Amino acid sequence: MSGPVCNPEQAVECALKIQVAFISTGASRKCDCPLQCNQRTYPYSITTSPLSQLFLDYTMKRPDFMGRKLPVKKLNRELAYLEIFFSQLTYTNIQTIPAYSYIGLFCDVGCALGLILGCTFLTIFEILQLFIGLCTDLVASGYFAHLQRSAKKSARKS
| Residue pLDDT, tens place only, 75-114 | 666 666 666 666 777 777 777 777 778 888 889 999 999 9
| Residue 131 belongs to some domain of the structure | yes
CA angle, corner 146, sides to 142 and 148, nearest 5? 115
Instruction: Report which of 12, 5, 84, 3 is spatially closest to residue 43, judged by C-alpha positions.
Output: 84
| Residue 137 belongs to some domain of the structure | yes
Q: Quickly count helices (H) and strands (E) in the chain.
A: 5, 4
| Residue 36 belongs to some domain of the structure | no
User: Structurally, how many domains does the chain consist of?
Assistant: 1
**Residue 49: which H helix or E strand, with range?**
strand 44-49
Q: Distance of CA 52 to CAs 42, 57, 71, 111, Å?
A: 29, 9, 15, 74
Compute the half-sphere exposure of residue 47: CA atoms within 13 Å on the CB side of its CA: 6
| Residue 130 belongs to some domain of the structure | yes
Q: Which pLDDT score, from 0 to 100, does residue 47 have?
A: 67
Quote the domain boundaries for residue 120.
98-158
